[in-house]
Amino acid sequence: MNIRFVIPCLLGLESIIANEMKTLGAEDVVSENGRVLFSGDESMLARANICSRYSERIQILVGEFYARSFEELFQGTKSLPWEDWIGAYDAFPVKGYSLNSTLFSVSDCQSIIKKAVVERMKLKYGISWFDETGPIHQIQFSIMKDKVSLLLDTTGAGLHKRGYRPQANAAPIKETLAAALCDLARLRPYHTLYDPMCGSGTILIEGAMMVHNIAPGVNRYFSAERWDVIDERVWTEERNRARDLVNYDTDFIAYGSDIDEDALEIAKINAKRAGVERKIKFEKADIRNFEPKSEKGTVICNPPYGERLLDIAEAQKLYKVMGEKFIKKHGWAYYVISPSEEFEKEFGRKADKRRKLYNGMIKCQLFMYFK
């Protein structure tokens, strides 16, 4: 079965996800603002969920159409083949959003879409009441400039929830963004990675998982695993495929430090849960005492800043210290994500390259120093 999929993603990660999907074997990959579309079969559905490092979730695109009235919304929804995915006893809640559209009431749109799906299912299954006691098939809708997209979520809890981080320190970086920073830093299996403000260790853990080819979702559950229309052998085969690709035989080593002892204890637990504790060394240390343990290295960090943990003046002092410690030297590269427009001034030199990213809802820049 050829299925069209949609991946909603953090702004700025579209091209990274598109490249990842092509590498995983997806077809007809297209990047749009805030999402990536691709095609594939049931195996690709499972593979994308298990293996994608940067995606927020994997959704099936059931259909798209324009609607400027509730009648058009109802008929457009009713015309789609919901029965291909949803069984007579399955649960199918509806949620979504509307932006810059004639149909702006989310609750009204929600009710109409639900009613339209029920009417379609009544005709196909010949029954008038749905108990919805079976597996959840979450229907998502988006209406943007009157264009309606209707989707089925296959993921459940967002893909950033790898399973290794039951606890975190204050204002942790999202796993999907941490993985993307490692990709943008071109982290390789022979590199030495540093994060001198590592918090609960997310950047270091994601880096270690990436270079050793550990699939981020191999040990977690996805909502589509309970769907009758997808053979459970598909999930077993894709998990086995992912496990076969893991390779711990590398020279990679990572060093994480922080002034928060509690955060470091959490980081150690998280690294163990992720299966990379032998590849990461943690210690309590202030960035003012940052001393590299190798001749070459890559530093990736997400320093605390005014909107997160420190006030603006403290953050600026920290950037100055970073500029003094992250010296320009052959074999060294530094990648710092920050929302501060004054970062380069406080750091003491212009970045070789900048990239706009979003850390949650906060607009940031990734400042890259590698020359």
pLDDT of residue 200: 92
Measured in Å, how far apart are the chain's first and last C-alpha atoms? 48
What was the pLDDT predicted at 349? 95
Angle of helix 175-184 versus helix 202-211 axis, rounded to 10: 60
Residue 1 has pLDDT above 90, yes or no: no
Residues 100 and 207 in one domain: no
Per-residue confidence band for 306, with pLDDT thresholds at 50, 70 and 90: low
Residues 285 and 359 in one domain: yes
Whether residues 39 and 141 fall in one domain? yes
Q: What is the pLDDT of residue 236?
A: 98
Q: Which tens digits make up the pLDDT trace of 153-188?
A: 999 999 999 989 876 666 678 999 999 999 999 999
Range list of H helices, the chain: 14-24, 42-51, 70-78, 106-125, 175-184, 202-211, 232-244, 261-274, 312-325, 343-347
Total domains present in the chain: 2
Per-residue model confidence (pLDDT) at position 243? 97
Taking residues 233-252, report their average pLDDT.
97
Confidence of residue 310 (pLDDT cuts 50, 70, 90): low
pLDDT band at 359 (very low <50, low <70, confident <90, very high): confident
Q: What pLDDT is stored for residue 119 in this prediction?
A: 97
Q: Would you say residue 307 has pLDDT above 70?
A: no
In a domain, 233, yes or no: no
Distance between CA atoms of residues 53 and 51, nearest Å: 6
Question: Within this chain, do residues 10 and 117 fall inside the same structural domain, yes or no?
Answer: yes
pTM: 0.94
Regarding whether 204 and 149 lie in a shared domain, the answer is no
CB 139 within 8 A of CB 77: no
Same-domain check for residues 197 and 93: no
Q: Are residues 209 and 144 in the same domain?
A: no
Strand order in the sheet with 253-258: 280-284, 253-258, 192-195, 297-301, 332-338, 362-369, 353-359
Residue 92, token pair as written in the block? 């199918």
CATH of the domain at 103: 3.30.2130.30
Percentage of the chain lying above the pLDDT 70 cut: 97
Q: Residue holding tokens 């003094």?
A: 324
- Residues 195 and 125 occupy one common structural domain: no
Share of the chain above pLDDT 90, in %: 90
Same domain, 187 and 280: yes
Q: Is residue 27 part of a domain?
A: yes
Tell me the pLDDT tens digit for each residue of 37-72. 999 999 999 999 999 999 999 999 999 999 999 999
Confidence of residue 313 (pLDDT cuts 50, 70, 90): confident
- The amino acid present at 160, given as its one-letter code, is H
Instruction: State the residue range of the domain holding 274.
Output: 175-213+252-369
